[in-house]
Structure 1
Amino acid sequence: MLIDENEKQNLKKRFPDIELCYEQINHNKVFKYDYCLIIPQGKKCFLWFTYLNDKNVCLLIEKGRNNEISYISIETCQYLPELSLGTILYGSLIHYNKNKFFCCEDIIYYKGYNIYDHNFKRKLTTLQIIFEQELNQNVYTKNEVVVTLPIISNNKETIMEEIKYLPYQVYHIQYRFNRNNHVINTLYNNNNSKSPRLIFAVKPKVKSDIYELYCYSNSRNEFYDIAFISDYKTSVYMNNIFRNIKENQNLDYLEESDDDEDFQNINEDKYVDMNKVANIICEYNYRFKKWVPIKMTKDRKIATRRDIHQALIQKS
């Protein structure tokens, strides 16, 4: 469903005049807060559940200079019709794994009522109703937008620990209060959250997705740990380095039968180059406490046990 120019002008006139009052500070010392929120990096926008030509619609609204609407689009989203009585959410639009996510950090209107000045505790109660009863977060097509809440905690230490595992960049740590609608944002330095990367010598094992990591110690390469193959993409990448698996290059091979040579070779390691050693940059995964292969490198200098210790100590 497209919006013509006349409809856009009409919607701009109908959209309430909203002035957000958020305080931004450069230091991280905020006292007596009730909630911490992790706000992702993304385009700031509104999600407006309303009507257009007698149809319920979910509109993405972006504002530019002078607080004027610069962009309007209709988004596909699963929700109850009652929200279209006039519900406006504010947040960030981010993209992950080819899906669109709207991360809601505030609610301005709920079913026609202006609740912007409500304290955050009351707003959380309203948001709980919306997300538990009135919004469906399942995705049925790739064009749908998934509406989510940010990670919320009453403990900053918990928030800082969660950041280590997030697949997206963080923009703000936001502080909210039970007694009022005061909002304080502190900028977050994503460089502090990056997982350390080191080079290991990597050798394959016969069993799929099992690779040994070697570091330099006592004037020789010593076994350190087993690599963590975190997803299908990493598995395929490592197979391309160490294994001769035709299906990795061409899915049509899945339909073909093994040739005579493959059929006659019953060795378990027939697809694996057991003599190959590759230097690979690996990134530390804090959740699983393992190193994940990222990419092969021509750099011949691999990490020492001291390098590994220092990298992990700096992040603890």
Structure 2
Amino acid sequence: MNSVKQSIVPAQATVPTQATVPAQATVPARAVASSLRVVSLVSLGQHPVSGRLRRAEQDARALELCLTLSRQQPEGQVSVSAWHASGSEITSGSEQDLALRGYLGMGLEALTLVTPDTLQVAASERVVDVWPLLAARLREDAPHLVVCGGQSETGEGSGLLPHLLAESLGWPLVEGLVEIESCDDGHLTALQALPRGQRRRLRVKLPALISVDSAAPAARQSSFGQARRGSLMAVASGAVAHDEVTEAFAITPARKRPKRLKRIKATSARDRFKAAAAKAEGGAGKRLEGVSAEEGATEILKLLREEGVVR
């Protein structure tokens, strides 16, 4: 899988600097037509309190970035469509149908349901089952840009979907974007979120697949009338066989995750500036110089045990 994040110089604080990152030679070079075709992948979300299905927060932010890009460009230059892959049939008036119509209420006339020819994957929404549907359909439709959320709110929620699609299609994958500035001359210019509230500007060759960060602009409210007027169109992706990548997955019971180190999560410009300008708290650490590898490893292990990362 091609990545475009390795040789980029981060910007200082909230002032981004220009950085050019060419895609790898394995990415197919393709001229972008006058109309830029953008696909936003959406999934079923879940309310954290009631547990009811709704539009997913990160996927809604991804669709908001696409609609904003379409509004900024001349009319007809950018076409935006939303896709949802499902191995089970979605009936009209069901909870899944109402949740997906939340995306239609953002201003879409139709939402594409990517399904297999035969619903033998019934009631299965696992990533290892539905991602081949999207990969087959993307190869056939060949859009210029695919945008999605970092991870889903229902099902596995592992965040593997964009990585599997990029690996299968041979496209570059960029994660953690917060803004799409422009798409011209076959390249995408966007801002990526970094730790401590920093941003950096990327320039990526299309076609590409990107995922948005939780710091991206919040999605617009969903219009009830537009949601009811919009339509859900089922499109078969063709016969999909599980390939070697899918067969390599092993499903095991989940185990308790280790404690993570404290991470600053800044959402507003004020918080980002404070996090970037703040000095690292010291006093409790120990500086080691001229020690052997065994002594250094012992001190690192001691710190990990104090933080609760290693038991």
* TM-score bucket of the superposed structures, by smaller chain: under 0.3
Answer 1 or 2: higher relative contact order, Cα 8 Å, separation at least 6. 2
**TM-score under structure 2 length normalisation:** 0.24
- Structure with the higher fraction of residues in strand conformation: 1
Which is higher, the Rg of structure 1 or of structure 2? Answer: 1
